Amino acid sequence: MNPEFIEFLVKENALRFGDFTLKSGRKSPYFVNTGVICTGSGLHKLAEFFSEKILETGTAPIIYGPAYKGIPLAVAASISLSEAHSFPNSWLFNRKETKTHGDAGAFVGKLPKEGEEVILVDDVFTTGGTKYESVKLLEGLGAKVKSLVIGVNREEKGEEKNAVEEFVEKTGIPVHSIAKISDCFEYLKGKEIDGKVYVTDELYSAFQKYRDDYGS
């Protein structure tokens, strides 16, 4: 558990509670979105959490973030690794649509050499759809995806079992999360932060119901 990261997400409104419809169509009582962290100080702190996890689990020469929310994560984590931890690296992200003029192509940043290691970063793992797409894109460039580093693991079902476990089995790529959603709820349940209780008994019950339906 990483209490500092959990409180950071809540204070930045990157972990929100309510009624949300996910890309998968599932109705969720919470939502994770680091894209709302758009201040210099907030992104700097978020990058520190990611760079620390990358250093802990193994570095690589290139940090890749999928469009769109992965883009600032990759760039900021690359800066943090270089400046705060003196690890030389580059960043890379994809375009949603291939550019056909000027610097034409589907990517922006440092393209990997054949067999060069890349770390994929993203804010959350639900069913893994965009992560499979990213792995396919990177392997198409000849890169070796060393690991996937995510902010929050939603701990949800995939096709048959835990979505992260399925991803690891299918791709052979390890997944490292800064926090698990179960830890977030356990830590925040009834806890007052800056005068506010984010996870009430009612919300915790809704989370447990969601876990019964979609958790693993």
Please, is 90 exposed, middle or buried when counting C-beta atoms within 10 Å of its C-beta (0-12, 13-18, 19+)?
middle
The Cα-based distances of 178 to 10, 26, 56, 94, 197 in angstroms read 14, 23, 11, 23, 22
Q: Please tell me whether residue 96 adopts helix, strand or coil conformation.
A: strand
CA distance 88 to 195: 42
> Are 95 and 108 a contacting pair, CB within 8 Å?
yes
Which residues are CB-neighbours of 183 under 8 A, at least 6 positions away?
1, 2, 6
CA distance 73 to 57: 17
Active site (catalytic) residues: 99, 101
Residue in this structure with the two tokens 């996910």, named with its chain if needed: 22
Q: What are phi and psi of 127, to 5 degrees?
A: -105, -15
- If you count DSSP H runs as helices and E runs as strands, how many of each does the chain have, helices first? 7, 10
